[in-house]
Chains A and B, each alone.
Chain A
Amino acid sequence: MLDLKKIRADFPILSREVNGKPLVYFDNAATSQTPQQVIDVIVDYYSNYNANIHRGVHTLSQEATDKYEAARHTIQKHFNAAHAHEIIYTSGTTHSINLVASGFSSLLQKGDEIIVSALEHHSNIVPWQMLCEKTGAILKVIPMNQDGELVMAEYDKLLNENTKLVFVNHISNALGTINPIEEIIEKAHQVGAAVLIDGAQACPHVKPDVQALDVDFYVASAHKICGPTGVGMLYGKEEWLNKLPPYQGGGEMIAEVSFTKTTYAGLPHKFEAGTPNICGGIAFGAALDYMNAIGFDAIAKYEQELLEYATKALLEIEGLKIYGTAKNKTSVVSFNLEGIHPYDVGTILDKLGIAVRTGHHCAQPIMDYFKIPGTVRASFAFYNTKEEIDTLVSGVKKAKMMLS
Chain B
Amino acid sequence: MNIQEIQNEIIEEFAMFEDWEERYQYMIDLGKDLPLINAQYKTEDNIIKGCQSKVWVHAELEGDKIAFTADSDAIITKGIIAILIRVFSNQHPKDILEANTDFIDQIGLKEHLSPTRANGLVSMIKQLKLYAIAYQTQLN
Contact = CB atoms under 8 A, between A and B. Distances in A.
Interface of A: 19, 340-341, 343-344, 347-348, 351, 358-360, 373-374, 402-403
B52 A402 contact: no
A348 B118 CA distance: 16
A348 B73 contact: no
Most buried by A among B21, B52, B118, B119: B52
Given A351-B20, A373-B73, A374-B52, 15 more contacts: A19-B20, A341-B53, A341-B73, A343-B119, A348-B24, A358-B52, A359-B51, A359-B118, A360-B51, A373-B54, A402-B21, A402-B24, A402-B25, A402-B28, A403-B75
A343 B24 contact: no
Contact of B74 (A344, A360, A402): A344
A341 B28 contact: no
B76 interface: yes
Contacts of A347: 24, 76
Q: Which 7 pairs between the two chains have the least Cβ-Cβ distance?
A: A341-B74, A343-B74, A343-B52, A343-B53, A344-B76, A359-B52, A344-B74
Interface in B54-110: 54, 73-77
A341 B75 contact: yes
B37 to A, nearest CB: 17
Most buried by B among A340, A341, A348, A374: A341
Contact of B24 (A340, A341, A351, A360): A351
B27 to A, nearest CB: 10
A351 B25 CA distance: 13
A358 B52 CA distance: 7
Contacts of A359: 51-52, 118
Contact of B77 (A343, A348, A351, A402): A343
Contacts of B51: 359-360
7 contacts: A341-B75, A347-B76, A351-B20, A359-B52, A360-B51, A373-B53, A402-B24
B80 to A, nearest CB: 11
A360 B24 CA distance: 24
Contacts of B75: 340-341, 344, 403
Interface of B: 20-21, 24-25, 28, 51-54, 73-77, 118-119
Contacts of A360: 51
B93 to A, nearest CB: 31
Contacts of A341: 53, 73-75
A403 B28 contact: yes
A347 B28 CA distance: 12
B78 to A, nearest CB: 9
Contacts of A358: 52
Contacts of A344: 28, 74-77
B128 to A, nearest CB: 21
A353 to B, nearest CB: 12
Given A359-B51, A402-B25, A402-B28, A343 B76 contact: yes
Contacts of B76: 343-344, 347
Contacts of A402: 21, 24-25, 28
B31 to A, nearest CB: 9
A187 B14 CA distance: 63
A403 B24 CA distance: 10
Contacts of A348: 24
Nearest to A350: B111
A403 B76 CA distance: 9
B28 to A, nearest CB: 6
Nearest to A346: B52
A187 B85 CA distance: 58
A358 B77 CA distance: 14
Contacts of A19: 20
A343 B119 CA distance: 8
Nearest to B54: A373
Nearest to B20: A351
A351 B76 CA distance: 13
Nearest to A347: B76
A102 B54 CA distance: 35
A216 to B, nearest CB: 34
B104 to A, nearest CB: 15
Most buried by B among A340, A344, A351, A373: A344
A172 to B, nearest CB: 20
A358 B76 CA distance: 14
Contacts of A351: 20-21, 24
Contacts of A403: 28, 75
Contacts of B73: 341, 373
A402 B26 CA distance: 10
